[in-house]
Chain A
Amino acid sequence: MLAWKWWRDCRGRVLLYFGAAIAIGVFSALDATTYNWWMDNYRVDPQRYQFYVFLAWSRISYGLVSSVLYGAVWTGLVLAISSAGRDYASAGVSFLLTRPQRRSAMLWVDFGFAVCTVAIAGVLLEGSAIAVAARVLPSIRTVELLGLLPTLVAVAAAVYGVTIFWTVVTRSAAKGIELSVATMVTVSLVPGAILEWWHIAWPEAIQGWMLKMFDWRPAYSYWIFHVHPRTPVGHTAIRRYIIYADDYRPMIYRSLEPYPIAELAIWIGLALALVYASQKILEYREV
């Protein structure tokens, strides 16, 4: 029943997200492969050609990262107030809470479907981008590109958690959205403000953890682009290499950061903790 209701309430949005994911994936790939004809001129120079292929995939990755993060925040916000979130904040909550079912089931079913929606949208987004790009470009780094998917799910889940938490606490979907956005802005700005404006010298480990912890872009989003500062020639490395360098290979295959498993775990843990807290509030909720 809850599953049916979730689908009834969210099907329009879900289909829209899936369609948008495919469209964004296809256009990201098309955009990045526009210069394929130009790259073809370098096929005689395998090293240089390989480098341009890498840049094209990086461009696709960048396009996906940008849309994935905003998309994750958006879907997390909207899905959190689309079905159960809206019902908990409405007068219809007394009807919902007098159906013979455990209150804990209500929130987790909703959360589970929201996460699945985001995951499927992510697969469609990346799958369509890879499918289109692979027809033009030699297939490199596609597995690494798929690594973006968990970050998408983790961010969406955390945003969902924050939004449903505030919605349940305030009993208002509008306030839930407002406070969720305020929370995201605050936790994004405060650690930076502490560090940059007030120059508060916290222990380095804590400071580093705070900045990472509250960074709404998981580190993996920058993964490929962290190549830049880690190269010996500094931030403008790619441009210089394109023009002057003879050997591109080291830049392409070195300096990759390890997959941010710990950080992802924190994000997912945060999401689960917030949904659990919301569930507990709901279990003791009086109407």
Chain B
Amino acid sequence: MSELAIRTENLVKHYGNTKAVDGLTMSVPRGSIYGFLGRNGAGKTTTIKSLLGLARANGGEASVLGYDIQREHLQVLQHTGFVSENKALFDNLTGDEMVRFNRGYFPTWSDKHVERYRKLFETPMDVPFGKLSLGNKTKVCLLLAMSQGAELLILDEPTSGLDPVAIDILMEVLIDDHVSEGRTVFMSSHQLAHVQKIVEWVGIIDHGRILLEARLEDVRQNYRVITAAGIETAARLSRPEIVGRRHSAKFWRYLVSRDSESVASELRQRGMAVSDVSPCGLEDVFLGVVRKEEDHAGVEVVA
């Protein structure tokens, strides 16, 4: 059995001249919660669609749970629960009817989980799906995906429309019912605050490429933001540890993946005035990587 729940190698997906996914290489360990982060249009949803056969990759390789996404498409779907970005099911069917429809596809389906999630999320199961609010649509989609007993959950923006209580319950359920049983959760989201509560791994994607893939704990321990002032020629320091660099009116901000003191020291030697070296959260890392001024660096794998 593959140690990776998802593996992509130079995955490419073009729509005409637009490169939606451009050589994406990613590794999602089994049994982890992986946060797949990126701006709008970064390629998150296209990547997910490619993994599930909703879009056909133009190049590269990918496997889900050890199954090749092209040749073993049905096995991938058999073992994967999916919540789509648009939260669209059949508008005329109620939640209960959707359960009735969905149940037969999955031998590992659990009606006990249906009942549990219905109560936990207070999901209206007797109203046609098309008449539900976005939040309730999301709850029905989550209930269906999480009741499959799938080895892998792929959740595209799973918190859309959910209130803070429902989001909190979702985070608990993902850990208690899924990760604790060795299942994998792969979630794409803009909500960094929610993601960093539970994810173990993060992958940051922009312009169809992974800019950073690391264990969140490593990010917290090793990543630093260095703030310095000085002339541009001195500021343009290039070292592999520097993951991102931004320039505001007076200051340069460097996102450094390790050896921050060494980098700070070199900046000082180049005449820069280093004012701060501080630990950073996921949001700092995300902004530091995605908003950096230079072209994107290659894949940065910390762990």
In the complex, the chain B residue whose C-beta lies closest to that of A102 is B74
Alpha-carbon distance A98/B69, docked complex (angstroms): 12
Flag whether A196 is at the interface (Cβ < 8 A). no
Known contacts A4-B100, A97-B54, A286 near B90 by CB under 8 Å: no
- Nearest opposing residue in chain A for B49, CB measure: A287
For the residues of A in contact with B, the DSSP-based class is: loop
The yes or no answer to B182 lying at the interface (CB within 8 A) is no
Check B53 against A95 for contact (C-beta < 8 Å). no
A99-B88 contact given A1-B101, A4-B101, CB 8 Å threshold: no
Among B82, B86, B91, B104, point to the contact of A98 (Cβ < 8 A). B82
Residue in A9, A95, A100 whose CB lies within 8 Å of B92: A9
> How far, in Å, is A9 (CB) from chain B's closest CB?
7
A249 CB within 8 Å of chain B: no
Instruction: Please tell me if B132 contacts chain A, counting CB pairs below 8 Å.
Output: no
Does any Cβ of B come within 8 Å of A239's Cβ?
Answer: no
- Given A1-B101, A5-B93, A287-B49, 9 other A-B contacts at CB below 8 A? A4-B100, A4-B101, A5-B90, A9-B92, A90-B88, A100-B77, A100-B78, A101-B74, A286-B54
A287 CB → nearest B CB, Å: 4
Cross-chain contact of A101 among B56, B82, B105 (Cβ < 8 A): B105
Q: B278 at interface (Cβ–Cβ under 8 A)?
A: no
* Residues in B whose Cβ lies below 8 Å from that of A102: 74
Judged by a CB distance under 8 angstroms, whether B102 is at the interface is yes
23 contacts between A and B (CB under 8 A): A1-B101, A1-B104, A4-B101, A4-B104, A5-B90, A5-B101, A8-B93, A92-B88, A94-B49, A94-B54, A95-B84, A95-B89, A96-B90, A97-B53, A99-B105, A100-B74, A100-B75, A102-B74, A286-B54, A286-B55, A286-B56, A287-B49, A287-B54
Cβ distance B44 to chain A, nearest Cβ, rounded Å: 15
Q: Is the CB of A95 within 8 A of B77?
A: no
Q: For B74, what are the chain A residues with a Cβ–Cβ distance below 8 Å?
A: 100-102
Residue of A nearest to B97 (CB): A8
B52 within 8 A of A: yes
The answer to whether A99 and B54 touch (CB under 8 A), given A9-B92, A92-B91, is no
Does chain B have a CB within 8 A of A253? no
**CB-defined contacts of B49 to chain A, threshold 8 Å:** 94, 286-287
Within residues 177 to 228 of chain A, which ones have a CB less than 8 A from any CB in chain B? none
Contact indicator per residue, chain A 97-110, by CB within 8 Å of chain B (1) or not (0): 11111100000000
Number of interface residues of B (CB under 8 A): 27
For the complex, what is the distance from the CA of A285 to the CA of B89, rounded to whole Å? 18
- By a CB distance below 8 angstroms, the chain B residues around A87 are 90
Contact with A along B64-82 (1 / 0, CB 8 A): 0000000000110110101
Known A4-B101, A98-B82: A287·B88 in contact at CB below 8 Å: no
CB pair A284 B56 closer than 8 Å: yes
Bound complex: CA A43 to CA B82 (Å): 74
Taking a contact as CB atoms under 8 Å apart, the answer to whether A98 and B90 are in contact is no
Residues of B within 8 A of A140 (CB): none
Kindly state the separation between the CA atoms of A98 and B53 in the bound complex, as whole angstroms: 8
Contacts of B80 in A (CB 8 A): 98
Residue of B nearest to A97 (CB): B54
Residues facing A in B127-166 (CB within 8 A) are none
Q: Which residues of B contact A284 (CB under 8 A)?
A: 56
CB–CB A92/B89 < 8 A: yes
Q: How far is the CB of B72 from chain A (nearest CB, A)?
A: 11
A95 touches B88 (CB 8 A): yes
A48 to B91, CA, bound (A): 61
B residues less than 8 Å from A100 (CB atoms): 74-75, 77-78, 105-106
Are the C-beta atoms of B105 and A1 separated by less than 8 Å?
yes
**Distance of A10 from chain B, by nearest CB (Å):** 11
Name the residue on A nearest B75 (C-beta).
A100
Q: In the complex, A95 Cα to B88 Cα: how many Å?
A: 7
